[in-house]
Amino acid sequence: MWEYTDTVCEHFFTPRNVGSIPDADAVGEVGSLACGDVLKLYLKIDKDERIVDARFQTFGCASAIASSSALTEMIKGKTVDEALKITNKDIADFLGGLPREKMHCSVMGREAFEAAIRNWRGEPSTPVQLEGRLICKCFGVTDGQILRAIRDNKLGTVEEVTNYTKAGGGCGGCVDEIAALLDAEFGQKALMPLKPVKKRPMSNIERMQKVMATLNDVVRPRLQHDGGDVELIDIEGKTVMVALRGTCLDCPSSRLTLDGFIQRTLRDQVDPEIVVMEAEA
């Protein structure tokens, strides 16, 4: 289970500036549902090029939601040029830090803002320097994106590149190419990821305890904030049966709540193979 700061939890449970701006002056979108995280950012910019409003819609984990919320708070009131100086490290620092495996969420926030400003200026959606050869097919990451992450964050290992870009975090087939980019950048042999240490399989009792704790401490407070709730019905191995309650019960987005939020949260914090199913009424 990831260790989150109080600020990350605050921006996850009560995110600021959620939603869209119908008459937005700029819109930037990064990520894809196939890759697991999507962020769409809306901006209102006045005649003095000052950002007077910023709102977001995010499909992703706790770190993605918190990073998006933090970003909107950081850029509101700033001029475009001032806001463009904000780095992904600034976003992570604003939140009191992010787990190293979740730093890509802060990178996504910065990229969404830059995409919105390019939209506002009438420029191409993807900057030339980030185009290039596709390295990671699992997450759609190019060599330009990897090199930028390396240079901006002083990354020196393949594992760090994965933490900041997701590249290499899927099938692993691009690890050698990432190492080659690091070799070329620093003129030395890059450190390869350590072989994972085999851990004792989680027992059924341990999994059940973690599922119940995550539902009570993470999932339910977020749903209750919007008038909804979830009830744990049963756990059979890695299958978790739940029933939606409150406003979630008849919500047209109930499937997204089950798959995109509840299941994703349990996979993120308990077991990546967990399947969440809705109990029959």
- Please pick, among 9, 61, 105, 138, the residue that the annotation labels catalytic: 105
Q: Are residues 25 and 45 in contact, defined by beta-carbon separation less than 8 angstroms? A: yes
Residues linked to residue 31 through DSSP beta bridges, in sequence order = 38
- Please pick, among 35, 136, 174, 248, the residue that the annotation labels catalytic: 35
Active site residue 248: no
User: Which two three-digit tokens encode residue 86?
Assistant: 């904000």
User: Which two three-digit tokens encode residue 180?
Assistant: 């080659």
Q: Are residues 211 and 249 in contact, defined by beta-carbon separation less than 8 angstroms? A: no
Distance CA 267, CA 134 (A): 28
- Among the listed residues 258, 262, 261, the one whose alpha carbon sits nearest the alpha carbon of residue 278: 258
Distance CA 274, CA 24 (A): 39
Active site residue 35: yes
- Start-to-end CA span in the chain (Å): 32
What is the set of active-site residues? 35, 105
